[in-house]
Structure 1
Amino acid sequence: MIWFRHPASPNTYSSHSNDESVMIKYQPHDRPFAESSEQNKQVILEVIQPLLREAKNLLEIASGTGQHALYFAQTMTHLSWQPSDLKASLSGISSWIADSIHQNIRSPLALDVSSDPWPNEQFDAVFTANSFHIMNTQNVEDLFRNLSTVIKPNG
């Protein structure tokens, strides 16, 4: 189920169905939360969804809190979503994934784009958001250099 934040009550969420009778309280320490991810997820979805209609699997680089991974995987159920991030972020991503009833979101991979081995798998697409501005120049260069090892031809 997808939960949305109520503007009037920042720690209250309601279900995607907008059913006011289905609400939960969210305690900020339960899992990581990025307001920017919450605010931009729908806009990003509107851009990437048409591009990913034919894709079967996707590698997300720098999944951060895991909010985007959960939201996009639940929205695009035809797609196997592989989140990844630095080791320190994996438990937070996993806490978001634990909320998913869908089987198309995988356990997060530890991936430092400059030092960790990249997955030995080919993906139809690679996605990242809210990441380049916090990566150093070497990380960005390494990310682009390694894309060819994980993206399928014509991906």
Structure 2
Amino acid sequence: MVRSKFTISRVAILQKPYSQACENNKGPILRELTRVFGKCKNVLEIGSGTGQHAVYFAASLAHLTWHTSDQTCNHDGINRWITDSPANNLQRPISLTIGQDPWPELDIDGVFSANTAHIMQPNEAKLMMQMIAENLPNNGIFCQYGPFKFEGQYTSESNAAFDQHLLSEGCGGIRDIADLEIWAKPLQLQNVIAMPANNFVLIWQKH
């Protein structure tokens, strides 16, 4: 699902992928997920990356089932994290590459995705938003985490520099929330929550 060269390093002792950013942001993100996913039963994570978020969130959200997904090349790392921190409500990864794979045949009422839209090309980010909007049921929730632009403006100089780095590496770059709103219809943006390190959580709901 997501190329991980910006966030994932290998820790030889653990023999599994590790992201310091995931460790830093998992607590603040979980506080928001606990609130917005309170009535959800099945949540699909698009771009599970290392698997760190999945094992942490599933352990704290025992009322729902957490479904991991990513490109098949990342499944081994995700599975290693799940094997080390198993939970009855945590599912092994399914293959999901936006633009290649169909929407999974799951009864999903919540979607979570972190740091994916700025790695994807614009057409891929657009398709992801459209697929989520099409497949979530009424009142379904999409929680989206990462850096974003507001009306074409960066929220910090560091994000502007990061965007240039992303573009130089062939990624799509930081997306503008105004574009996401157009692509996501009929999802409606309910809340924009400032997070540490100049990131945000966007809360979308289908009406």
Q: Give the TM bin, normalised by the shorter chain.
A: 0.7 to 0.9
1:84 equivalent in alignment to 2:69: yes
CA apart distance, 1:149 = 4.2
Question: Any conservation in 1 of the 2:51–2:81 contact (CA below 8 Å)?
Answer: yes
The one-letter amino acid paired with 1:140 is: A
Letter in 1 for 2:137: K
Aligned counterparts, 1:25-36, within 5 A: 27-28=13-14, 30-36=15-21
Identity %: 38
| 2:46 aligned with 1:46 | no
Q: Work out whether residues 86 and 110 of structure 1, in 8 Å CA contact, stay in contact via their aligned partners in 2.
A: yes
User: Which amino acid letter does the alignment assign opposite residue 97 of structure 2?
Assistant: D
Asked if the contact 1:45/1:72 (under 8 Å) is kept, the reply is yes
* Corresponding position of 2:194: none
Equivalent residue number for residue 111 of structure 1: 96
TM-score normalized with structure 1 length: 0.79
1:133 is displaced (CA, Å) by 1.8
* Aligned mates of 2:50, 2:86 — CA distance in 1: 18
Per the TM alignment, residue 68 of structure 1 is displaced from its structure 2 partner at its CA by: 0.2
Pick the aligned partner of 2:45 from 50, 54, 60: 60
How far the C-alpha of 1:77 sits from its partner, in A, is 0.9
Higher strand share: 2
Which 4+ runs in 1 deviate beyond 6 A? none
Unaligned runs of 5+ in 2: 1-10, 141-207
The CA deviation string for residues 53-107 of structure 1, in whole angstroms up to 9 with x for no partner, is 1111100001100000010001111110001111111111111111224210001
Q: Which amino acid aligns with 1:61?
A: I
d(CA) in 2 for partners of 1:33, 1:108: 17
Q: Alpha-carbon deviations, 1:110-139, whole Å to 9, x = none?
A: 100111121012311000012222111121
Q: Match of 1:47, as an amino acid?
A: E
Alpha carbons 1:57, 1:79 under 8 Å: kept: yes
Q: Distance in 1 between matches of 2:78 and 2:86?
A: 15
Q: Contact 2:55–2:86 at 8 Å: present in 1 too?
A: no
Q: CA RMSD in A?
A: 1.5
Corresponding residue for residue 133 of structure 2: 148
CA distance in 1 between partners of 2:86 and 2:100 (Å):
33
| Aligned partner letter, 2:13 | Q
C-alpha distance in structure 2 between counterparts of 1:150 and 1:105, whole Å: 21
Where 2:92 maps in the other structure, the secondary structure is: coil
Gaps of 5+ in 1: 1-10, 12-25
Q: Tell me the amino acid that sits aligned with residue 48 of structure 1.
A: L
In 2, distance between residues paired with 1:89 and 1:74? Answer: 21
